[in-house]
Structure 1
Amino acid sequence: MKRFVRYFFLFGSVLLLSASSACAKLIKPDDTTYTYNLEENDELRLCEITLNLTNSVAPQMVSLTAFAAFSKPDGSLAAGFITSAAKRIASGGRTGVPLSSASFQSQSFQSANEMEQLIVNDTGIMVVTLDGSAATAFLQAFIDGNFKLTLSLTRSKNVTQTFIVLQAPSQEVQKNFTKCLNQLNSNTASIESTIRASSLRSTGAD
């Protein structure tokens, strides 16, 4: 994933895409799993939470990775998500489902209004912002765990699928992520404190 984030830092702008709302299909995943990850090198520190959705209908696997990335050379910060989808095939394996656009929607945040998009790795979508306020709003909405992810399939004209997420990351995943944010550039301080406060309220911690 780091190479995609680095691409955004280098070029500063991305290909704008728009999602069609025609023929939208609502899907409630059969299984929802969150995992935390940290990647770091001399150029970049990357905090991630990956949400994996398992569905009974195609695409049976959907991945949504929310991230905050700090570029060490110039001190810039990017936040957003990368999403991809896959379906099962007759051999028992899986194959990627090409996407043309993606959007994140919650009561408090709409990515279509605040973020830009880029097609990555031929089939996935990166949705990203360099704006601190938009980054805070998105990460908070993601951590709250009550949102919709809408995907437009490249090979299905005017067809979108909306996945309904009603589960937040575990307390451990939230704590690791906010700790990672706290170790980024000082510009992320407001992001970290906002998410930490929400996490404490939702878990009843002291």
Structure 2
Amino acid sequence: MFRVRLLGSISVLVTLGISQATGATILPTQVVYSNWTEETEEARICEIILDVSNPPSREVVKFIMLAGYNKFDSEVLAGFLMAAADIMTIDKFEIVQISDAAFNSGAFSSLGQLGYEIYDDGTVMATTDDPQIATPFISAVLAGDYELSFSRPEPGAGARTYKIIPAPPDAVTSNFIDCMGRVEAQSKLARLSASAKRSPLPE
């Protein structure tokens, strides 16, 4: 349900320059957080969007922490969507295929805990419907000081690890928490309604 709005655009945060070196951990110079909220007939989705770049590298990374409520089955999922792109010209980018995408902090690692899907367009999604896993993941993103890593398949590309120090700004965090409050309320109401429909009426 979360790919209703795929990575529609990669924010162009960089000027044209060299390709990103591989191997060492990258401490990006440009880290920009924002929010996105969407409600359709099928779902309500809350997002914190992170755009990362490290000029003069041409590589940009988009990481989306997302949580949402599926209106058909009352399921609440949480996780992330990750993509990388190469800036070709000032107004053109090319999303690249990535694999082995991971979120790691001192408190949470996505590997072995989130379920992964890799798509033909180059993006990677990892989600869970277990609140005991989703809660520490969301808390780790909101706390900042974490790493985003992925691999590019072309020969010699190697792995990338971006070290993200800043936490989302208070306004971005507040918007996400407010959105999630509405998601949880909708999901709870839907479950109660479904339970009432299943219960036999007293004679």
Q: TM-score under structure 1 normalisation? A: 0.76
Q: Percentage identity across aligned positions?
A: 28
Aligned match of 2:199? none
Report the number of matched residues. Answer: 172
Unpaired stretches in structure 2, ≥5 consecutive residues: 6-21, 189-203
Structure 1, unaligned stretches of length 5 or more? 6-22, 190-206
What are the Cα deviations for residues 127-168 of structure 1, in whole angstroms up to 9, with x where unaligned?
111111111011100011110000111224682100000001
Letter aligned with residue 71 of structure 1: N
Change (3 A) 1:158 1:91: closer
Q: Which amino acid letter does the alignment assign opposite residue 43 of structure 2?
A: L
Amino acid at match of 2:113: E
Change in CA separation of 1:112 and 1:59 when aligned onto 2, cut-off 3 Å: farther
Residue 168 of structure 2 corresponds to 169
Deviating more after overlay: 56-65 vs 126-135: 56-65
Decide which structure has greater helix share. 1
- Whichever residue aligns with residue 135 of structure 1, its letter is A
Distance 2:86 2:172 in 1: 27
Q: Note the C-alpha offset of 1:122.
A: 1.9
For the Cα contact (< 8 Å) 2:61–2:85, is it kept in 1? yes
* TM-score w.r.t. length of structure 2: 0.77
Match of 2:129 in 1: 130
Per-residue CA deviations over 1:70-91 (Å, capped at 9, x if unaligned) read 1011110110000111112257
Give the CA RMSD over aligned residues: 2.4
Pick closer, same or farther for the CA change 1:92–1:42 going to 2, 3 Å.
closer
Please say which structure displays the higher CA radius of gyration.
2
Matched, 1:45 2:44: yes
